[in-house]
Structure 1
Amino acid sequence: MGTRRVAVVWRGDREARRTATPQNNRFHRVFEELAAIGVHAEPAVYDEEFAEEVRTQLLATDGVLVWVDPLHEGKTRAVLDPLLRDVAARGPWVSAHPDVILKMGVKEVLHRTKHLGWGTDTYLYGSAEAFREAFPERLRTAGPRVLKQNRGNGGQGVWKVELIGSLPGGEPAVRVLHARRGSMPEELALPDFMARCKVYLTPDGCIVDQPFQPRLPDGMIRCYMGADKVVGFGHQFIKALIPPPPEGPGSEAAQPGPRIMHPATAEPFQALRTNMETGWTPQMMAVLGIDARSLPIIWDADFLYGPRTVSGEDTYALCEINVSSVFAIPDQAPAEIARLVAMRF
């Protein structure tokens, strides 16, 4: 058996493709670990402009690792995903496969798995009519909510919505805050805000509705997974959906804190690790119809702290699963990625 070849795909322009080497990009540790186990890994910088060139390159490999966001400067994966499906159908394995992303790497998964231990009071609106009929009453009775478009990244299409009273004409008024960095709270009529959200209700889109988590200022825990095992954690004091300080959204106080990385063995997160490895991940796989070999080689689950139990223990609420482009990653992850790549052959 000859040397196995793997392509590492990320988005870039023609110049980035021409000059890419295993050493001059943020994935250099992954390249190093793959080389250490005898796998030849090559850069495969992607853009729609030269998609067919990338397809030809990928078909000459044994496997493909992909790091491409669903939304990037107005570009989507509308061309890339069919390309990757075609490549996978012709022999090379692809991680993460677009069909797996559509099962677990979209916000709909929060609704499909809401009955698991990571779930919350979650609803899904698949049409403007369903959204119009149910959301106003839910907002009135359940308190502040967080709405999320089905597929996005960087806070795009994620909104905190809270009822603040009524306008002179009797329409309910809301305060909304977009999760995109630099956003400011807005106050407007609820129907006007809901009209803004119709863009998320595309034929293959939806809006997911979750309760706002009051412990958001305690930070977000990113649980990094190598297939079905935890490979590390990242804890960050995020500022998304938290109103900016008086100094403004561009001030230092408004910026998120650094993501502090921890190994899988970190004591504060062992209860979460146990839940992920022995309960929630296998349960999710069963619900979504994903077998062990199809699990992404690297993915993560973002958790917020839920209400404490009577005995003072933390609970966790899933707010997102990231599959398309998981980075930065813990120090232990590149070696685990390489180990899991070797198992695919």
Structure 2
Amino acid sequence: MKKHVVFFEVEGGTDKGLDGYRLDTLPMIESLKKRGWTAEVIFYSDERKDEIFERVVRGADAYVSRINPGNLKDEGAYFQLLRQLCEFDVKGIPHPDAMISYGTKDALVKLRDTPLVPEDTFAYYDIASFKINFPKSLKNGERVLKQNRGSTGEGIWRVQLTSDIGEVEEVPLNAMLRCTEAKDNHVEEHTLETFMNFCEQYIIGENGMLVDMPFLPRIKEDEIRLLMLHKTPVNIVHKKPTEGADAFSATLFSGAKYRYDAPEEWSALVCSFLDSLPVITEKLGGYDLPLIWTADFILDTDEQGHDRYILGEMNCSCVGFTSQLSLSENIADEIISILSEVEPVEQLINY
């Protein structure tokens, strides 16, 4: 074993400090060095792909990806490099296909036959299927459309039917809609036809798609983000959307209030999610769990009137922990454990 880890970053972007690095990358490198390992940051670019491949294969045991795919010119080329590295026995933390499986919105569709996701959750990969099926799903109540790309609520729309359409099998194209974007809770009025034409932009292009799922009104009570370190829960972020009739976004940009709790304070949710991990892993491709990842939950009510939490999305591309940089010590231990194929001696929390 070389005892060397490469951290991939990309130059530029809003997630960098004054030194050009992500604020949470160098602490992980320093924590690895304390444990007798070496580590370095390599800035990925398409032009240097072959050079980077040779350098990492020769010198590293593993890579840790700290790149938001949205900051890349060619996301596909980057993932191709990561796959090649994995084929040459460089450990992917995470594997590129795990990044895709856990990080894309259609993970929800793959999990819709579990208690985590409503059964009437759909994915549209082409414009034709979207325009045929969305008017039918909208007939059954308020919906949320989520684009595959974007962040901070961009391209996530709450869609309410405001026209009285009577008893029909699907919503007519001239019906009026009230559309609220999660980015900032702003409201737009459109006909169904106009809005679907607008949403075509989310489907075209590489990895374009839309997820269509029921709107859960209790999101106004809270959204819960579970921060995971591999298999271990680290903390809970309790998000309270701003007040307002249409407001539903739980992003900081939209004015939502955040509170940070220990996982013990949400033991029922946490234990239920941990019990679900084998099923999640199986349905999302069988890859190792990501190193640092999140799962967002929305409060709902089951048929017996009991509280339940619905999975809204997961994220594993480049989850930050700048408000808790001391976590770098635990992350370094976990990286070494993954590479040694030995479980950490100390877990953050025991359940």
Where structure 2 has 5 or more consecutive residues not aligned to the other structure, the ranges are: 166-171, 340-351
Match of 2:319 in 1: 326
1:301–1:320: 8 Å Cα contact kept in structure 2?
yes
Whole-Å separation in 2 of the counterparts to 1:26 and 1:144: 39
Structure 1 residue 18: Cα displacement: 12
Structure 1 residue 149: Cα displacement: 2.0
1:157–1:179: 8 Å Cα contact kept in structure 2?
yes
Q: TM-score, normalised by structure 2?
A: 0.80
Match of 1:65 in 2: 64
Match of 1:106 in 2: 104
Structure 1 residue 263: Cα displacement: 3.2
Whole-Å separation in 2 of the counterparts to 1:151 and 1:44: 25
The residue identity in structure 1 corresponding to 2:232 is K
Give the direction of change, closer, same or farther, for the CA distance of 1:17–1:321 in structure 2 (3 Å limit).
closer
Whole-Å separation in 2 of the counterparts to 1:237 and 1:213: 14
The residue identity in structure 2 corresponding to 1:284 is I
- 1:90 correspondence with 2:93: no
Q: Which moved more, 1:234-243 or 1:25-34?
A: 234-243
Match of 2:344 in 1: none
1:17–1:44: 8 Å Cα contact kept in structure 2?
no
- 1:335 correspondence with 2:329: yes
Give the direction of change, closer, same or farther, for the CA distance of 1:88–1:253 in structure 2 (3 Å limit).
closer
Whole-Å separation in 2 of the counterparts to 1:80 and 1:240: 41
The residue identity in structure 1 corresponding to 2:274 is E
The residue identity in structure 2 corresponding to 1:276 is F
Match of 2:202 in 1: 200
Structure 1 residue 177: Cα displacement: 1.9
Whole-Å separation in 1 of the counterparts to 2:274 and 2:215: 26
* Counterpart pick for 1:149 among 137, 147, 150: 147
Match of 2:168 in 1: none
2:24–2:320: 8 Å Cα contact kept in structure 1?
no
Match of 1:27 in 2: 25
Structure 1 residue 50: Cα displacement: 4.6
1:232–1:330: 8 Å Cα contact kept in structure 2?
no
Give the direction of change, closer, same or farther, for the CA distance of 1:253–1:89 in structure 2 (3 Å limit).
closer
The residue identity in structure 1 corresponding to 2:41 is P
2:241–2:247: 8 Å Cα contact kept in structure 1?
no
Give the direction of change, closer, same or farther, for the CA distance of 1:42–1:170 in structure 2 (3 Å limit).
closer
* Counterpart pick for 1:41 among 30, 39, 42: 39
Match of 1:315 in 2: 308
2:127–2:203: 8 Å Cα contact kept in structure 1?
yes
Match of 2:224 in 1: 221
Determine what percentage of the aligned residue pairs are the same residue: 26
1:149–1:158: 8 Å Cα contact kept in structure 2?
yes
Match of 2:296 in 1: 302
* Equivalent position SS for 2:267: helix
1:304–1:319: 8 Å Cα contact kept in structure 2?
yes
Whole-Å separation in 1 of the counterparts to 2:217 and 2:317: 28
Residues 13-24 of structure 1 mapped to structure 2, 5 A cutoff = 13=12
Whole-Å separation in 2 of the counterparts to 1:240 and 1:198: 31
Whole-Å separation in 1 of the counterparts to 2:253 and 2:210: 31
Give the direction of change, closer, same or farther, for the CA distance of 1:221–1:129 in structure 2 (3 Å limit).
same
Q: Which moved more, 1:53-62 or 1:121-130?
A: 53-62
Give the direction of change, closer, same or farther, for the CA distance of 1:273–1:254 in structure 2 (3 Å limit).
closer
Q: RMSD between aligned alpha carbons?
A: 3.4
Residues 110-129 of structure 1 mapped to structure 2, 5 A cutoff = 110-120=108-118, 121-129=120-128
Whole-Å separation in 1 of the counterparts to 2:69 and 2:313: 14
Whole-Å separation in 1 of the counterparts to 2:333 and 2:37: 10
Q: How many residues align?
A: 325
Match of 2:343 in 1: none
Whole-Å separation in 1 of the counterparts to 2:12 and 2:322: 24
Whole-Å separation in 2 of the counterparts to 1:244 and 1:288: 32
The residue identity in structure 2 corresponding to 1:321 is M
Q: Which string of whole-angstrom CA distances, capped at 9 and with x for unpartnered residues, describes residues 231-251 of structure 1?
A: 222222245997469xxx9xx
Give the direction of change, closer, same or farther, for the CA distance of 1:37–1:218 in structure 2 (3 Å limit).
farther
Give the direction of change, closer, same or farther, for the CA distance of 1:240–1:124 in structure 2 (3 Å limit).
farther
Structure 1 residue 126: Cα displacement: 2.8
* Equivalent position SS for 1:296: coil
Q: Which string of whole-angstrom CA distances, capped at 9 and with x for unpartnered residues, describes residues 10-30 of structure 1?
A: 22249x899567xx8333432
Structure 1 residue 54: Cα displacement: 4.1
Q: Which string of whole-angstrom CA distances, capped at 9 and with x for unpartnered residues, describes residues 163-183 of structure 1?
A: 11179x981111112222x46
Structure 1 residue 205: Cα displacement: 3.4
Give the direction of change, closer, same or farther, for the CA distance of 1:238–1:325 in structure 2 (3 Å limit).
farther
Match of 2:182 in 1: 179
Whole-Å separation in 1 of the counterparts to 2:91 and 2:148: 26
Match of 1:344 in 2: 338
